[in-house]
Structure 1
Amino acid sequence: MTQQVRGVVAPGKGEKVRIETIVVPDPGPGEAVVKVQACGVCHTDLHYREGGINDEFPFLLGHEAAGVVESVGDGVTEVAPGDFVILNWRAVCHECRACRRGRPWYCFNTHNAGQPMTLTDGTALTPALGIGAFAEKTLVAAGQCTKVDPSASPAAAGLLGCGVMAGIGAAINTGNVQRGDSVAVIGCGGVGAAAVAGARLAGAAKIIAVDLDERKLDWARSLGATHTVNAKSADVVEAVQGLTDGNGADVVIEAVGRPETYRQAFYARDLAGTVVLVGVPTPEMKLELPLLDVFGRGGALKSSWYGDCLPSRDFPMLIDLYQQGRLDLDAFVSETIGLEDIEEAFAKMHRGEVLRSVVNL
């Protein structure tokens, strides 16, 4: 039987979100219904509301979530009812060329649930990143559920579902930060702050946080930054070079997604160093660099999509580190709110007042 639950819907471009009754079908083959316990408010949800992702309105928002599996469809073996899971937006297929080559974190054929969730009048909803977790329950592909230690806080654990994983993975997986490395992180919102935490986990000797906002620099310090640079008052490239014996950082992580900050990252790295782009640019942005500089500096220019994570590998490992007190996921939870508070959470996020607001359900 279908179920009716409350959920947060973006009805049209730029319109305020509304709490609606959502119809959740029983899980079909390869699907699972999850009772959502907590879901972070991510900038991507605001992008959906503003029409910055696509125009497939109405959207069922929310995707950084943790909860308990309520029921599963035929053929599901990954999880069972009662499992505490983190939801992910990249259920790997195990069959594409990346998966066949043993690189499932690059899966080119990730998938979501096949059945739609709807409004009560039958209008199909587009779930944000295939999840739609600003709802009491949601329908996902079973591969989007990763079982983790049930004693973990849902509010903290759910953040691994997107932004925190993207930042940590940009440092550990994409940037391959090594013990003793110097790392600079440009942009210290939720993703950038997580990249700082990831660099610390990897054993970086020097972690330089760069931002325009002293609040964000304070967050970065609390998560492991050894040095900070306020880009309002300092030349970023000169400052990073000055903190690295004039050389530049071994790894520079750009967590803003703008041409000007990417140029800073490019020139703030050491020769043969690595630049990681994890900030998400908009379609109209263009980058111009002297090709001779690209050639002459060597190294690697990488993009990090979801922190190049493999949820089945990375989520349980990071939850273990959280339980051991080695990764402070609780530090990313600035406040807990209800479904009715999401518009204000968007405003706080826009003003830079929070790392993450988290909806408790």
Structure 2
Amino acid sequence: MVQQVRGVVAHGKGEPVRIETILVPDPGPGEAVVKVQACGVCHTDLHYREGGINDEFPFLLGHEAAGVVESVGEGVTEVAPGDFVILNWRAVCGQCRACRRGRPWYCFNTHNAKQKMTLADGTELTPALGIGAFAEKTLVAAGQCTKIDPAASPAAAGLLGCGVMAGLGAAINTGNVGRGDSVAVIGCGGVGGAALMGSRLAGAGRIIAVDVDERKLETARKLGATHTVNSRATDAVEAIRELTDGFGADVVIDAVGRPETYGQAFHARDLAGTVVLVGVPTPEMRLELPLLDVFGRGGALKSSWYGDCLPSRDFPMLIDLYLQGRLDLDAFVTEKIALDDVEESFARMQTGDVLRSVVEF
């Protein structure tokens, strides 16, 4: 039976979002309906509203979510009604060339629910990142549900669904930060903050936070930074080199995603060091680097997509660390808001006043 729920919909580029009645069908084969308990307000949702992802309006926004499986369709075995889950946008296929080579975190054929949720008039919705969790209930592929310990706070756990996992994974999975390594993180919002925390969790020795906002740098200290650099007042590359005995950092993570910050990351790494790009550029951006320097410095230039995570592996492990008190996911929850407050939270996001606003149902 089709259910009617409330959800946040973006109807056109730059238009304020609206609360609409959403029709959620019963799950078909391989699908699940999840009762959403909490969903973070991610910058990607704002990108959708601004038309920065694609133009497949109207969008049902929201994707950093945790909730309880309400029902499942035919053939679903990985989750069952009553399971507490984090929703993910990497439901690996198990069949593509990456999966067959034992690298499912690179899956080239991730899947979503085949049925569409709609508005009351039948207009089909495009769910953000195949999830659409700014709604009381949502329809997803069962593989997008990762079962975790129900003792975890939904508001904190849901953030692993996107931004916090992206930052943690950029450090731990992509950057392969190890004990005693020096790490610099450029951009200390939610993703950059998670990269700082991931670096500390991995045992990095010197963790340098770079930003232009002193408020974010203060937060960065709480999340694991041993040193901070205000790049509005100081040359970031020189400062990072000075803090690493003149060599540069072993791993530099660009959590901004602009040519200027990537250039800083490239020149601030040690010889044979690693640059990780996890900040998301816009389509018109172009990068220019001296090719001789790319050759001569060695090392690795990497991009981190979703923190190179495998949800079935990483989410339960990180939640265990959270419940042990070793990973402070609650630190990313700046405020808890109602579904009706999402548009206002976008404005607060632009001012840099919050790490994450989280919608609670």
Given the two structures, how large is their TM-score scaled by the length of structure 1? 1.00
Classify the secondary structure of the residue corresponding to 1:99: helix
Indicate the residue corresponding to 2:351 in structure 1: 351
Deviations 1:132-156 (A, max 9, x none): 0000000000000000000100000
Deviations 1:29-60 (A, max 9, x none): 00000000000000000000010000000000
Query: Is it true that 1:71 corresponds to 2:71 in the alignment?
Result: yes
Letter in 2 for 1:138: T
Indicate the residue corresponding to 1:195 in structure 2: 195
Runs (4+) of structure 1 exceeding 2 A deviation are: none
Classify the secondary structure of the residue corresponding to 1:274: strand
Distance, in Å, in 1 between the alignment partners of 2:55 and 2:287 is 26
Classify the secondary structure of the residue corresponding to 1:75: coil
Indicate the residue corresponding to 2:224 in structure 1: 224
Indicate the residue corresponding to 2:214 in structure 1: 214
**Post-superposition shift, 1:218?**
1.1
Distance, in Å, in 2 between the alignment partners of 1:146 and 1:218 is 33
Which residues of 2 match residues 1-361 of structure 1 at below 5 A? 1-361=1-361
**Post-superposition shift, 1:322?**
0.3
Give ranges in structure 2 of 5+ residues lacking alignment: none
Classify the secondary structure of the residue corresponding to 2:91: coil
Distance, in Å, in 2 between the alignment partners of 1:149 and 1:355 is 24
Distance, in Å, in 2 between the alignment partners of 1:124 and 1:232 is 45
Letter in 2 for 1:110: T
Distance, in Å, in 1 between the alignment partners of 2:239 and 2:77 is 52
Deviations 1:199-244 (A, max 9, x none): 0010000000000001111111101100000001100000000000
Distance, in Å, in 2 between the alignment partners of 1:90 and 1:311 is 7
Distance, in Å, in 1 between the alignment partners of 2:106 and 2:216 is 31
Distance, in Å, in 2 between the alignment partners of 1:291 and 1:358 is 43
Distance, in Å, in 2 between the alignment partners of 1:64 and 1:346 is 15
Cα RMSD over matched residues?
0.3
Distance, in Å, in 1 between the alignment partners of 2:315 and 2:130 is 18
Classify the secondary structure of the residue corresponding to 1:194: helix
Classify the secondary structure of the residue corresponding to 1:155: helix
Classify the secondary structure of the residue corresponding to 1:234: coil
Distance, in Å, in 2 between the alignment partners of 1:120 and 1:347 is 28
Classify the secondary structure of the residue corresponding to 2:122: coil
Classify the secondary structure of the residue corresponding to 1:70: strand
**Post-superposition shift, 1:28?**
0.2
Classify the secondary structure of the residue corresponding to 2:228: strand
Classify the secondary structure of the residue corresponding to 1:82: coil
Deviations 1:65-104 (A, max 9, x none): 0000000000001100000000001100000000000000
**Post-superposition shift, 1:330?**
0.3
Classify the secondary structure of the residue corresponding to 2:194: helix
**Post-superposition shift, 1:125?**
0.2
Letter in 2 for 1:97: R
Classify the secondary structure of the residue corresponding to 1:257: coil
Distance, in Å, in 2 between the alignment partners of 1:156 and 1:59 is 24
Distance, in Å, in 1 between the alignment partners of 2:185 and 2:102 is 30
Classify the secondary structure of the residue corresponding to 1:132: coil
Distance, in Å, in 2 between the alignment partners of 1:326 and 1:55 is 41
Identical-pair percentage:
86
Classify the secondary structure of the residue corresponding to 2:69: strand
Give ranges in structure 1 of 5+ residues lacking alignment: none
Distance, in Å, in 2 between the alignment partners of 1:132 and 1:194 is 23
Letter in 1 for 2:45: D
Classify the secondary structure of the residue corresponding to 1:198: helix
